[in-house]
Chains A and B, each alone.
Chain A
Amino acid sequence: MRHILRRRELVADDWAYLGEESAGDALIVPLAQLRAEEARWRAWSGRLGVRLTPADAPEELSAGLARLALVAVEFPTAGDGRGYSQARLLRGRLGFRGELRAVGAGVKQDQVFLLARCGFDALELAPGEDPEAARRALGRYTVGYQPGAATVQLERLRFPAP
């Protein structure tokens, strides 16, 4: 059973990725698949999520974003930071309010604080990562300089959001 650190709580994952066996009706589909079989997924009656690779443009989702309950953003390595910008765009400009999940080998305790600041509210930790350590890391800083997502509450910020 896969677990997700969702808003600092470790919960069983109620979503399945396309191709996984699942009893539920919540399915995460790669963007390429969503594109290729648009009609099929428009007709999908369950909850729908999409999975972005680092090269995907979140702007492509804008028209169909209301239909999506989850966006999973892939971090194949900790060093590939494109997903941070994807998250900022989704939460900011595109106004996405559903679950924003970071997934991949790059999602580790040393990254989770920045991920949460960019708007990720669900962390699918890399295999072997200790969820307790990740939870602690989310509270590592009480102050910061740049505005960020409300997922992390800091006591003081230097540069406020508009």
Chain B
Amino acid sequence: MYRYDDLDRAFIAQRVEEFRDQTRRHLAGELSEEEFRPLRLRNGLYLQRHAPMLRIAIPYGLLRAAQLRKLADIARRYDRGYGHFTTRQNLQLNWPSLAAVPDILAELATVEMHALQTSGNCVRNVTADHLAGIAPDEVDDPRPYCEIVRQWAALHPEFTYLPRKFKIAITGSPEDRAASEVHDIGLHMQRDGAGEIGFAVLVGGGLGRAPVIGALIREFLPLADLLGYLEAILRVYNRYGRRDNIHKARIKVLVKSLGAARFREEVEAEWLAGRASAPVLTQAEVERVRAFFRAQPYETLTDLDVTADREPRFLAWYRYNTSAHRMPGYRAVCVSLKAPGAAPGDATSEQMEALAALAERVSFGLIRVTHTQNLLLADVPQRELYAVWGELERLGLATANIGTLTDLIACPGLDFCSLANAGTLGVARDIQQRFGALDYLYDLGRIEIKMSGCMNACGHHHVGHIGILGVDKHGEEWYQISLGGSANGFTALGEVIGPSVPKAEVATTLERIVEVYRARRLEEEPFIDTVRRLGLEPFRAGAYASHPQAA
């Protein structure tokens, strides 16, 4: 994994001091809240419903054990002993004090971490496929390029005050596990005829109020041109993106209003004109960064049958929570942060510390954050799986539900977030309880539920097989349900099935929907395929059957 050099260290130290000074001036009354707001947001600091929220960047979701330990330590000393992993592979602390944030940032810097640009109208944390580097179907490991883009975006002189936030995702596999098609820029790694690395460039995807899938504006962008081309896109956006209406300020609105073809012409023209002054990405720099992501020193192993004579609980965990690895004798282990009754994505300091130790013992000391709000030990020898399972069981992190209905994604919702219209955590608990019986869950197979507490769509509800959106109805929390969304390989936006339902009815409504699926599915047909085959009508009819409260 990438390690800071002198430049990175000096930069982060100077950034911490800048923010310390800004915080001091704010607390001394020299900087009004209005002036401080855009500055603190560019350091991931929100003022929330109960307390500030600090969003810490985990670039492309990769952590060393020492970093996870530091996060655990910070959560214990400056917060309430837990943190929340997000869909964009960051970690949020919900209870730090404003005055302590500069110290937290200084602590983070000691393990080469920061909270730079995790919020605000600037280029945000660059995300990647959580199976990067180990996926059997990979063109190339996207993480070196994520790291290069992260550095290029850090306090970019020209692009720190954009019309709106800007999210970039890079995927190295044909199966898009990074949801890159719903990012402001999605980069899909490709190889040309000569085997050279490049990217297909998608622009203008996004969720939020007007969800849309990104438009392909470049089939193959050679690696050497990556930064120049990103600058061209950002410059066109910075100059022409709308600033008069926050709801129309994302790049997707600009792409739509110009049309993808015209937008592409603008970018290509800007790129050609600006090419001579674009930052240079040398082969030497690419090699320097790539060297940090070389394959792990794997042992030469053969695949084992680890399931013989094991108890059903282990077998279920093995089936649902581990996945194939490109090296024989290894598996990737998903650490479920979706235990019954737990807030999706939350982990305690004790869990983080134990995981750090486990990762050091069995997975080269690295932990990954997935965009489904779980953690991943990517390189576990198969002979260790049974012991790893035992340890995760002990920690409450072995719920065998990955990819099932209770592995749901949810933003923090009204319990924490000042933007939210409705709670998500209580609904998540209801769903986990209602679908708690594992045999029933396994019978349902793969169903992705994604839930957001407001239109900003941090819970990606548009691309859930089942999407749940909290809405405010005369001061009450109601929930709109959509079906048919997908973010994997074949990105699709879900369609709302009908009137929203009150909080107490959400789990029941979901149950009715999955009962329609159970009754109508063909043999082995996954939920999403049944929805696509039948259309919404039978589900709508089932969902609202004898449902007097729906309005």
A residues 64-94 with Cβ under 8 Å of B?
A: 78-82, 84-86, 88, 92-93
Q: Does B497 contact A (CB under 8 A)?
A: no
- Chain A minimum-CB-distance residue to B153: A145
A residues 130-162 with Cβ under 8 Å of B?
A: 140-148, 156, 158-162
Q: Is the CB of A141 within 8 A of B157?
A: no
**CA A160 to CA B281, docked complex, whole Å:** 8
For B14, the chain A residues whose CB sits under 8 A away are: 140-143
Given known A142-B10, A145-B152, contact A110–B22 (CB-CB < 8 A)? yes
Given known A108-B35, A145-B11, contact A114–B279 (CB-CB < 8 A)? no
For B121, the chain A residues whose CB sits under 8 A away are: 79, 81
Q: Is the CB of B161 within 8 A of A162?
A: no
B residues 137-191 with Cβ under 8 Å of A?
A: 151-152, 154-162
Q: Is the CB of A79 within 8 A of B38?
A: yes
**CA A85 to CA B158, docked complex, whole Å:** 6
For B160, the chain A residues whose CB sits under 8 A away are: 81, 84, 114
B residues 16-58 with Cβ under 8 Å of A?
A: 17-18, 22, 35, 38-39
- Chain A minimum-CB-distance residue to B161: A81
**CA A142 to CA B7, docked complex, whole Å:** 9
- Chain B minimum-CB-distance residue to A54: B243
Q: Does A101 contact B (CB under 8 A)?
A: no
Q: Is the CB of A92 within 8 A of B274?
A: yes
Q: Does B476 contact A (CB under 8 A)?
A: no
Query: Number of contacts between A and B (CB, 8 Å)?
Result: 103
For A144, the chain B residues whose CB sits under 8 A away are: 11, 155, 157
Q: Does A118 contact B (CB under 8 A)?
A: yes
Contact with B along A94-110 (1 / 0, CB 8 A): 00000000000000101
- Chain B minimum-CB-distance residue to A81: B161
Q: Which of A78, A140, A148, A160 contacts B280 (CB 8 A)?
A: A160
Q: Does B285 contact A (CB under 8 A)?
A: yes
Q: Which of B158, B239, B280 contacts A118 (CB 8 A)?
A: B158
Q: Does B276 contact A (CB under 8 A)?
A: yes
Q: Is the CB of B157 within 8 A of A118?
A: yes
Contact with A along B348-381 (1 / 0, CB 8 A): 0000000000000000000000000000000000
**CA A126 to CA B279, docked complex, whole Å:** 31
Q: Does A117 contact B (CB under 8 A)?
A: yes
For A117, the chain B residues whose CB sits under 8 A away are: 157
**How many A residues face the partner with a CB closer than 8 A?**
31
Q: Which of B11, B39, B161, B279 contacts A147 (CB 8 A)?
A: B279
**CA A159 to CA B7, docked complex, whole Å:** 12
Q: Is the CB of B11 within 8 A of A84?
A: no
For B156, the chain A residues whose CB sits under 8 A away are: 145-146
What distance in Å separates the Cβ of B495 from its nearest Cβ neighbour in chain A?
36
**CA A148 to CA B157, docked complex, whole Å:** 8
Q: Is the CB of B157 within 8 A of A78?
A: no
Q: Is the CB of A78 within 8 A of B161?
A: yes
**CA A161 to CA B282, docked complex, whole Å:** 11
- Chain B minimum-CB-distance residue to A108: B35
**CA A40 to CA B333, docked complex, whole Å:** 75
Q: Is the CB of A82 within 8 A of B239?
A: yes
**CA A40 to CA B277, docked complex, whole Å:** 35
Report 28 cross-chain contacts, Cβ distance below 8 Å, ordered by A residue: A81-B238, A84-B158, A84-B160, A88-B157, A92-B274, A92-B277, A93-B274, A110-B35, A114-B155, A114-B157, A114-B160, A140-B18, A141-B18, A141-B155, A143-B10, A145-B151, A145-B154, A146-B157, A146-B279, A147-B279, A156-B10, A158-B7, A158-B151, A158-B285, A159-B279, A159-B285, A161-B279, A162-B276
Beyond the given A86-B239, A145-B156, A147-B277, please list 5 additional residue pairs across the A-B interface where CB-CB is below 8 A.
A81-B158, A82-B239, A82-B243, A85-B158, A158-B152
